[in-house]
Amino acid sequence: MRLVKLMIGFAGAALLCGCAATGDHPENFYVAPGKYILYDCKQLAGAQAHFAERDQELSRLIARAKEGAGGSLVSTLAYEPEYYSNLGELRDVRREMAEKSCPPDVKAAPVAPKPPKRKR
């Protein structure tokens, strides 16, 4: 009897964890809430531009990976976690911009330049 109660408890916990992990927005799992509270509108615009650019790049990489044999597996393992993380960050930045009533034409604060690519 004790074993049955224990198994029912584990099954219930597993079901609840499954419900919490899956939802309409899986990218929320990757984002720390409130990360952009101290950003002003210029900083938020810069972050939005960065995450939007990275979103397009990751979308292209995922589409290209899915063209090849075994591409779905490669896409799932290599790109999708970063894609969902980036998407969550972008959604959080946009939400913060809306809360602060940032104008749509705000100039982005300069971001650090990307390091040059090394030639091999």
Q: What is the mean pLDDT of the chain?
A: 78
Q: State which amino acid sits at residue 12.
A: G
- Is the alpha carbon torsion for 64, 51, 92, 21 positive or negative? positive
pLDDT confidence tier of residue 13, bands split at 50, 70 and 90: low
Residue 49 counted as domain residue:
yes
Residue 58 counted as domain residue:
yes
Contacts of 55 (CB under 8 A, 6+ apart): 83, 86, 87, 90
Residue 82 counted as domain residue:
yes
- Is the alpha carbon torsion for 40, 44, 45, 47 positive or negative? positive
Total number of domains constituting the chain: 1
Lowest model confidence (mean pLDDT) among 26-30, 34-38, 51-55, 70-74? 26-30
Say yes or no to pLDDT of 60 above 60. Answer: yes
- Stated pTM of the model: 0.66
Give the domain range for residue 49.
Answer: 27-108
pLDDT confidence tier of residue 19, bands split at 50, 70 and 90: very low
Cβ(94)–Cβ(48) under 8 Å? yes
Cβ(32)–Cβ(91) under 8 Å? no
pLDDT at residue 31 in the model: 75
pLDDT digits (tens, 9 = 90+) for 62-115: 898 888 788 788 788 888 888 989 999 999 999 999 999 999 888 876 665 566
The distance in angstroms from the start CA to the end CA of the chain is 66
21 or 49: whose pLDDT is higher? Answer: 49
Say yes or no to pLDDT of 22 above 60. Answer: no
Residue 68 counted as domain residue:
yes
